[in-house]
Copies of this chain bind each other. A is one copy, B any other.
Amino acid sequence: MMKPYQEMTREELLAEQKSLKAAYKKHEQSKLKLDMSRGKPSQEQLDLSMGMMDVLSSDSDLKCEDGTDCRNYGVLDGIWEAKVLLGDMIECHPDNILIYGNSSLNVMYDTISRSMTHGVMGSTPWSKLGKVKFLCPVPGYDRHFAITEYFGIEMINVPMLLTGPDMDLVEKLVSEDETIKGIWCVPKYSNPQGITYSDETVRRFARLKPAAKDFRIYWDNAYGVHHLYDIDQDNLVEILAECKRAGNPDMVYKFCSTSKITFSGSGIAALATSPNNLEEIKRQMSLATIGHDKVNQLRHVRFFGDIYGMTEHMRKHADILRPKFEMILDTFDRELADLGVGSWIRPKGGYFICFEALDGCARSIVSMAKGAGLVMTPAGAPFPYGKDPRDSVIRIAPSYPTLEDLKMATDIFVICVKLVSINKILKEKQQAE
């Protein structure tokens, strides 16, 4: 076991610093180009879905079960068998589901945009209100925050606990302030921490008593079936059913897609919500489009067959991702755990590992890593307005690089964490003298 840096003498730290600097220099000179910045599937993962290109051919019948010709116009809300498949995927009845195009982010954007121009189920359009606010559990997903920022919605940070967002704070804010219209959630294997909301958290969500009638929970279930292990999986209480039980059937929009299941740019997205919300959304959708790509919906259905097919497919993704996650986490355990220079959670699924550095160190670590050819997600990105109040959170995306490259990247990252932490501690020691 190594000694925590805080307990080392100045001399010990300087010696450590010296050897780390030499290691860093070596990396710097080898002119690497590594990228751990975005949650993109690797080529190997994409190869798993190449069969998608074969399930439909010129000999195929492109009719769906009810006889609809998927090649033509029509079917606003998606073909039934796609609703069944994605319903099974996110544990909702197909009647509660709308199938969209290739991007669930686009569905979220549209949902906010529609609320701005038309309100929510008869409420005042948000663009007509003086102020609109959203709660943002932090750290969270940068693209969520970018949407709310674009629409001029004020964002309020809510700390993430190991059980999900701080529900005491959420309950208080939501019940007191009717300008709060929503909260962004990635409830399972959250981005970036990999936390799954506890049963209690979900139940408290479902029982919220919002001051705003048009308050909605934006439940981005992006990683619902993205487990790393076959048995040792997190479980998330199904929010639609829970909201219904709690007498709040209309309070949640649930989003998902197959982006990280089949091809990232060519999947299908879905929204699940109550019949009241569906009715409103379908009315708008009928103006915006005649329908989404049904051939691609059919392609997904024919490729997977059913949810068992998808589960088997996700097992193959897990086999590729698991060694990457474990390598990084094991390295952190081995190299960093004793040093008192940061903390992390060992997620059981999702696409990210979140490293929490010492306060004030995240930017420096990311910048130092860049110097050695390793691109990380910009520090601050997981926070509204890009501002991490403690400058401590770094998101790590293990999926895209090869395991080989990832080992190198993790080495560099560890060196940078150590060096920046030593610099900080040395500086503090100097100031204390």
| A binding-site residues for B, Cβ under 8 Å | 38, 40-41, 43, 46, 49-51, 53-54, 56-58, 60, 62, 69-75, 101-103, 105-106, 109-110, 113, 116-118, 125, 127-128, 143, 146-147, 150-151, 259, 263-266, 284, 287-296
Contact = CB atoms under 8 A, between A and B. Distances in A.
B72 A41 contact: yes
A143 B49 CA distance: 37
Nearest to A259: B73
A58 to B, nearest CB: 4
Given A46-B72, A73-B265, A103-B289, 13 more contacts: A41-B72, A53-B60, A53-B62, A71-B265, A71-B266, A75-B265, A102-B289, A102-B293, A150-B284, A265-B294, A266-B294, A293-B296, A296-B296
Nearest to A60: B53
Contact of A128 (B127, B287, B288): B127
B296 A266 contact: yes
Contacts of A58: 50-51, 53-54
Query: Which of A40, A128, A265 has the most C-beta atoms of chain B within 10 angstroms of its own C-beta?
Result: A265
Contacts of A38: 73
B73 A49 contact: no
A39 to B, nearest CB: 9
A110 to B, nearest CB: 8
B287 A146 contact: yes
Contacts of A288: 103, 105-106, 109-110, 147
Nearest to A266: B295
A287 B150 contact: yes
A54 B59 CA distance: 9
Contacts of A147: 287-288
A73 B38 CA distance: 10
Contact of A117 (B62, B127, B284): B127
A127 B58 CA distance: 47
A124 to B, nearest CB: 12
29 contacts: A38-B73, A43-B69, A49-B71, A50-B58, A53-B57, A70-B266, A71-B264, A71-B266, A72-B265, A73-B264, A101-B292, A102-B289, A102-B293, A103-B288, A103-B289, A103-B291, A105-B288, A105-B290, A106-B289, A109-B287, A109-B288, A116-B116, A117-B117, A117-B151, A125-B127, A143-B290, A147-B288, A265-B290, A265-B294
A263 B72 contact: yes
B57 A265 contact: no
Contacts of A53: 56-58, 60, 62
A103 B265 contact: no
Contact of A116 (B117, B290, B293): B117
Contacts of A72: 40-41, 46, 263-265
A210 to B, nearest CB: 23
Query: Which of A56, A70, A117 has the most C-beta atoms of chain B within 10 angstroms of its own C-beta?
Result: A117
Given A54-B57, A58-B50, A103-B289, A295 B265 contact: yes
A141 to B, nearest CB: 12
A238 to B, nearest CB: 27
Nearest to A286: B146
Contacts of A105: 288-290
